[in-house]
Amino acid sequence: MNQRGTHVLRLDALARVEGEAALRLRVEDGSVTETRLSIYEPPRFFEAFLTGRGHTEPPDITARICGICPVAYQMSACQAIEDACGVTVDGPLAELRRLLYCGEWIESHTLHISLLHAPDFLGHADAVGLAREQRPAVERGLRLKQTGNAILEQLGGRPIHPVNVRVGGFYRTPAPEDLRPLAERLRQAREDALETVRWVAAFDFPDAECDHDLFALRDPGRYAVDSGTPAVMVGHDQGTAPREIQLAAFEQHVQEGQVPHSTALTATLDGRRYLTGPLARYAINGRWLHPLAAEAARDAGLGDPLTGAVCDNPFRSIVVRAVEVVQAVEEALRIIDGYEPPPRPAVEVPPRQSLGRGATEAPRGLLYHRYALTEDGTLTEARIVPPTAQNQKAIEEDVRRAVQARLDRDGPAADDDELTHLCERAIRNHDPCISCAAHFLDLTVEHT
């Protein structure tokens, strides 16, 4: 033990984390006794805002919750409304939705890997320093991300807050020749994605492990993105069978509670702390990766996904994300190669008095929506359970462990700067999307 007395560390603004958050850490006599992640999270505002709106509006309104993962919000919203109305969207329309979602995975993951997370491993304060030293790697990341943007722009109508998505499908669907230039870019992106896996796999990773329950959609036969049943894996032993939870029973298992220090609700699954996102998806869906992505995972030291390998070092989540980018690129190419235009851009979704639920895999993890509709389609209730609120307890536990491990280490005591950096890293491992909110430039101006 190298720290005596009580010590409180506060991080009021976390760097390189999407959204707004703060962390408070209490150390008493060398033990971490409290970690509190405060999240300022707008979905609650949106839940209230949606009430009274029409049943076709949630995809457009909820897309505004996040500029990094608007497609996730749109897809969970569409599925929930379609579930309420008893409509199934399948065939080419479902494939196009999945293609759009792949674009978002590529874009969001690559932003995090190349610009936000990599500087942690390479001793840079931010992406600017990294760009000066490793320009080709940052350029590769930007190129890859722009390919994701191009998919969003082609299918979504514009790169942020897509406007072409509607309940039942799309307003306009592309002709096969519209998608050909995307396929060209994706073939280049495949090389960039594989190179990115090799790049991050060579980083130096701190020893760490987590024991959270893992929670992800499971869709036997394919790596879950926008389909499947929620499944939880308790214990990280390779080959542990996940237990499925019917979507209709989601809120009986996932319980959200209010804590005073955060505007986000914090969730437990059957009363236990759990993690959603890349580590959970990889453990539960790894065996259904495309061969190229599975090979990249094996070569990167993530074990053999085909036999249910689990990665439980949160610092290695950057490698899993990089593998998921390869997967998204492969999946996007598969969809474009087999694309035949649907007969209509959307199916009719007539309203009825009902309750509907939808869940998809946002880049950061499982995103659940539930809506109650009246006969004429007016929304009387909306419920949104975003991944970061689900991960809050897991992130706090990771921070506690990381700091405790540092305090337990022999040698010079850690100063606040070192602990701050360590906490930020432990949080960034989960790419928390504390939601897109305001975006402004901080500036000191001297008025005379």
Q: Which residues are annotated as a binding site for Fe cation?
A: 69, 436
Tell me if 152 sits within 8 A of 104, measured CB to CB. Answer: yes
Burial string for 401-412 (b: 16+ CB within 10 Å, else e) reads: bbbeebbeeeee
Helical (H) or strand (E) element with 82: helix 70-85
145 binds another protein (CB under 8 A): yes
Minimum Å gap between C-beta 325 and another protein is: 14
Q: Is the dihedral of CA 324, 319, 119, 37 positive or negative?
A: positive
Alpha carbons within 13 angstroms on the beta-carbon side of residue 297 total 32
322 binds another protein (CB under 8 A): no
Minimum Å gap between C-beta 145 and another protein is: 5
100 binds another protein (CB under 8 A): no
Q: Which of 146, 268, 354, 378 binds another protein (CB under 8 A)?
A: 146
Using CB under 8 A, which of the segments 78-86, 109-117, 231-239, 292-300 binds another protein?
109-117
Give Rg (Cα) of the chain: 21
Phi/psi-derived region of residue 413, left when phi > 0, alpha when psi is between -120 and 50, beta in every other case: beta
Return the number of the residue (20 or 213) whose C-beta is nearest another protein: 20
Minimum Å gap between C-beta 135 and another protein is: 6
Contact flags string 408-427 toward another protein, x per CB under 8 A: --------------------
Q: Which amino acid is at 429?
A: N
Q: Which amino acid is at 75?
A: M
294 binds another protein (CB under 8 A): no
Minimum Å gap between C-beta 23 and another protein is: 14
Using CB under 8 A, which of the segments 98-106, 133-141, 169-177, 233-241 binds another protein?
133-141
448 binds another protein (CB under 8 A): no
91-110 and 70-85 are packed helices; what angle lies between their axes, rounded to 10 degrees?
Answer: 150
Using CB under 8 A, which of the segments 144-152, 274-282, 355-363, 382-390 binds another protein?
144-152
Tell me if 224 sits within 8 A of 218, measured CB to CB. Answer: yes
Q: For residue 326, how far is the Cα from the chain centroid? A: 16
Q: Closest Cα to residue 119, out of 111, 108, 127?
A: 127
Q: Which of 9, 15, 183, 347 binds another protein (CB under 8 A)?
A: 15
Q: How far apart are CA 344 and CA 168, in angstroms?
A: 10
Q: How far apart are CA 98 and CA 366, in angstroms?
A: 15
Q: Which of 131, 167, 323, 394 binds another protein (CB under 8 A)?
A: 131
Tokens of 66: 């996040």
Tell me if 225 sits within 8 A of 290, measured CB to CB. Answer: no
Please, which residues bridge with residue 217 across strands? 230
Please, which residues bridge with residue 222 across strands? 219
Minimum Å gap between C-beta 45 and another protein is: 5
Return the number of the residue (271 or 439) whose C-beta is nearest another protein: 439
163 binds another protein (CB under 8 A): no
Minimum Å gap between C-beta 129 and another protein is: 8
Minimum Å gap between C-beta 154 and another protein is: 14
Return the number of the residue (258 or 444) whose C-beta is nearest another protein: 444
Minimum Å gap between C-beta 384 and another protein is: 14
16 binds another protein (CB under 8 A): yes
Q: Closest Cα to residue 197, out of 141, 252, 242, 132?
A: 141
Site residues (CB under 8 A) for another protein? 12-20, 42, 45, 49, 64, 67-68, 107, 111, 115-116, 126-128, 131-132, 135, 138-139, 141-142, 145-146, 149, 159-160, 434-445, 447
